[in-house]
A and B are shown apart, each in its own frame.
Chain A
Amino acid sequence: MTARTFRHIGTRPIRHDGADKVTGRANYGADLSLPGMLHGVVLRSPHAHARILAIETSRAEAVPGVRAVITGRDIPENFGSIALGEAPFDTHDIGDNALAHEKALYHGHAVAAVAATTIEIARAAASLIDVAYEPLEPVLDITRAIAPDAPILDAGLETKGRPAPGSKSPTNIAARMELRRGDIVAGFAAADVVVEREFRTQMVHQGYIEPHACVARWGQDGQAVLWSTTQGPFLVRDQCAAILGMEPAKIKVTPSEIGGGFGGKIPVYLEPLAIALSRKAGRPVKMVMTREDVFRATGPTSGTIVRMKLGAKRDGTLVAASASLWYEAGAYRGSPSGAGAMCCLAAYNIPNFFVEAYDVLVNKPKVAAYRAPGSPMATFATESLVDEIARTLGLDAVEMRLKNAVAEGDHAPYGPAYPAIGLKEALEAARRHPHYTAPLAPNQGRGMACGFWFNAGLSSSATVMLHGDGSAAVTTGNPDIGGTRVAQALMVAEELGIPVEQVRPSVADTDSVGYTDVTGGSRVCYATGMAVIQAAGDVRDQLRARAARIWNVAPDQVGWEQGRAVALDGAAAQKPLTVAQLAAEMGRTGGPIVGRAAVNVPMAGPGFAVHLCDLEVDKETGRTTVVRYTAIQDVGMAVHPSFVEGQMQGGVAQGIGWALNEEYIFDAGGVMENAGFLDYRMPVASDLPMIDTVLIEVPNPQHPYGVKGVGEVPIVPPLAAVANAMRDATGIRSTTLLFSSPRVLEALAAGD
């Protein structure tokens, strides 16, 4: 790639939406109110597993102020799947998850909903809905789910993919996949050292601060308008249409500002219910989840069991690996076990491996995507074992990894050759970083780990409009979570040569911009950015044509330099025209100037990260404190470095929380016992040190600036980096998360 000199890309302007956010003026999902609006509430199952025998709603419907009550009968059971961007959605499962039909499959599963003139009336009425349940034994972990006598969640479930030999139906195993290369028997036979362990991680939630919320308004014309906090307004539209049996074009979705998502705001929960209630009541309906609802009834990520074995030669060369990955899907198929299988060995060249991955139903909420879904848990196993081999062989942690690290042209464990990647550059940066050799205090330890994520591509659209004063507006369909609006403004500024402050970036509704896949998969700055760059290029081409008209020359006699139209050789000597000058003449040279572009692009190419973690263990209390952390990552090209660093720091914070603080705690009946932030302990600023970042820029040749995705990789290494630091500090190899104070004390006592 020819190096390009940028004027705007790589700078750090203040985000356009910043002032509204810090002053409280930004409008989030729960902020909208409409005249005549009703308030909707959901009645949720008190059982984790139960057959629904009957639902009687007449007492609720008789309450003054109640305008509509719905149950599963109001949601058609549509069997099929729809391709929605990243992966196919099972239309029956997403509808049944929104409102149960025959069975309640987890504690908190929605079974009915009420709309009334006040929230208090709606709640009181919901309590008067009589549901007759036949309670069933809940299946609360993988071991129980795969036992021969396990209760079956879905009698019609078939194991997709490659069922294990001897598999029987009925089953709770929704899918199984395999990856293999070479001969693992010969590979392990040739190894000088073999390590094998079983790792466990717990179910955790994304913990986005803004709960789910929406307002729906059904119109007399049979069309619905929906306002929602979501990562993907087009996916909300298409999921609601599929669930309700509507045409997608009859639903218009306007995304609000969004207070975090991390994958958890891709599915719909309240939205189809709000539309159905509004249709029945003939008035707008607002629905807002409580934090407790969010924990109990939206998609966390899987609890997992990973059994892994690694073999290496005496010099540290990895020669064989085998792994068996078991991921909880929750109540419906769809855990990220396959992604875990593809990620777990992705950082290393291993000539012989076998990986199998299972997707297992349990009576817990249906899992949703969570930042690099599936990769952190599997990588926890791999990087722990790599650390153990390095220790066993007396090798330096970086040297061990460099010896095996993948580079451009090496084949990923899932098949294709890697494009330009920066894992070795990141490892070299880790070795050079002062953190790597800084002295440790007593009771402190240091760990390192690598991480991998794919970085999605998919479809995006963008429109760039020029205003009469030479400023511009850029409109896309991606809710802005990580600073994508200012990044898009930077791209327009770069292409047109105008100040970034003169570019106004907006997120549009589904009727006002072309189809755009979700804000997820680390794809927005890359894929939607390509649409923005092309749309801005379209504007620039039109400006050149307008200059040609003014100068009365052929368009090919007009060039573009530093934000100005310039006359080329052969044209009359003309003074260059600025964007503002050309914009002022728009009406007389052909009318408004609007640039547009739509793209469907391949995956951006993988991102790799290397993390260093120092922690201190109080051996009397078991309290573990992360005292220093450095995240190094190949980011391709940082369009706005502050937001890239923010993504890296945020991913690290979530990963540390996963390792040290966070877990779903269920009682024997499958009821979550800690459904609130007081008891579900996410890390806060005072829990963490400043997280240092190092940006490595190995450009992505598929992108005009070299951009790769950056948002997901940083959550991958922390689980293992913390575990390896714990091993260094205490001598104890902990293989079961989380490392809470009681567990650390227990491990220390056992170690003694």
Chain B
Amino acid sequence: MARVHLPGGLSAHTGGLECVDVDATRVGELILDLTLRFPGLAEPIRGMAIAIDGEIYNDAPYHALRDDSEIYFVPPVAGG
């Protein structure tokens, strides 16, 4: 199961849980499952980048996940 880490402000939408395990094979499924369980997360993570095993993508719904993938939602960062 992929492990989603929700440090800082995001845990306010999961009843204080800072780690949630999700059974999903791709990022899109993971987000769907996560937001069904915690509807309050849908808005805060909309538009956020996602770190999959240390690699940060701006948008990657079809990206495959491993059984032990580590996921973080990260604010999108612009560059100059």
Contact = CB atoms under 8 A, between A and B. Distances in A.
Are A and B bound to each other? Answer: yes
Interface of A: 83, 85-88, 161-162, 177-181, 206, 261-264, 266, 336, 338-339, 342, 368-373, 414-419, 453-458, 520-523, 600, 602-603, 702, 709, 712
Given A86-B78, A415-B51, A600-B57, 7 more contacts: A178-B9, A179-B8, A266-B78, A266-B80, A418-B54, A419-B55, A712-B79
Nearest to B47: A88
B50 to A, nearest CB: 10
A22 B65 CA distance: 51
A567 to B, nearest CB: 38
A240 B31 CA distance: 32
A658 to B, nearest CB: 13
Nearest to B46: A88
A520 B79 contact: yes
Nearest to A261: B80
A266 B79 CA distance: 10
A370 B80 CA distance: 5
Nearest to A88: B47
A415 B58 CA distance: 15
Interface of B: 5, 7-9, 12, 44, 47, 51-59, 70, 72-80
Given A178-B9, A180-B8, A373 B54 contact: no
B80 to A, nearest CB: 3
Interface SS of chain A: loop
Nearest to B74: A414
B80 A372 contact: yes
Contacts of A83: 47, 59
B77 A339 contact: yes
Contacts of A261: 80
A302 to B, nearest CB: 12
Contacts of A262: 80
B31 to A, nearest CB: 16
Contact of A162 (B12, B55, B74, B80): B12
Given A415-B51, A419-B54, A369 B80 contact: yes
A369 B59 contact: no
A603 B7 contact: no
Given A457-B57, A702-B55, A369 B78 contact: yes
Contacts of A342: 74-75, 77
Contact of A417 (B7, B54, B74, B75): B54
21 contacts: A83-B47, A86-B76, A161-B44, A263-B78, A263-B80, A266-B78, A339-B78, A342-B74, A369-B79, A373-B80, A414-B72, A417-B70, A419-B54, A453-B79, A520-B80, A521-B78, A521-B80, A602-B52, A603-B55, A603-B57, A712-B80
Contact of B75 (A414, A523, A603): A414
Contacts of A522: 79
A378 to B, nearest CB: 13
The 9 A-B pairs with the shortest beta carbon distances in the complex, nearest first, are A521-B79, A263-B80, A415-B72, A416-B51, A369-B80, A602-B55, A162-B9, A603-B56, A371-B80
B75 A336 contact: no
A302 B5 CA distance: 31
Contacts of A86: 58, 76-79
A152 to B, nearest CB: 24
Nearest to B43: A160
Contacts of B79: 86, 263, 369, 372-373, 453-456, 520-523, 709, 712
A603 B74 CA distance: 12
Which of B12, B56, B57, B80 has the largest number of chain A CB atoms within 10 A? B80
Which of B5, B75, B79 has the largest number of chain A CB atoms within 10 A? B79
Contact of A177 (B56, B72, B75): B75
A603 B60 CA distance: 12
Contacts of A520: 78-80
A651 to B, nearest CB: 10
Contacts of A370: 80
Contacts of B8: 177-180
A137 B57 CA distance: 42
Contacts of B55: 419, 602-603, 702
Contact of A456 (B51, B72, B77): B77
Nearest to A602: B55
B39 to A, nearest CB: 17
Which of A342, A419, A602 has the largest number of chain B CB atoms within 10 A? A602
Contacts of B5: 415
Which of B5, B53, B70, B76 has the largest number of chain A CB atoms within 10 A? B76
Contacts of A456: 77, 79
Contacts of A457: 56-58
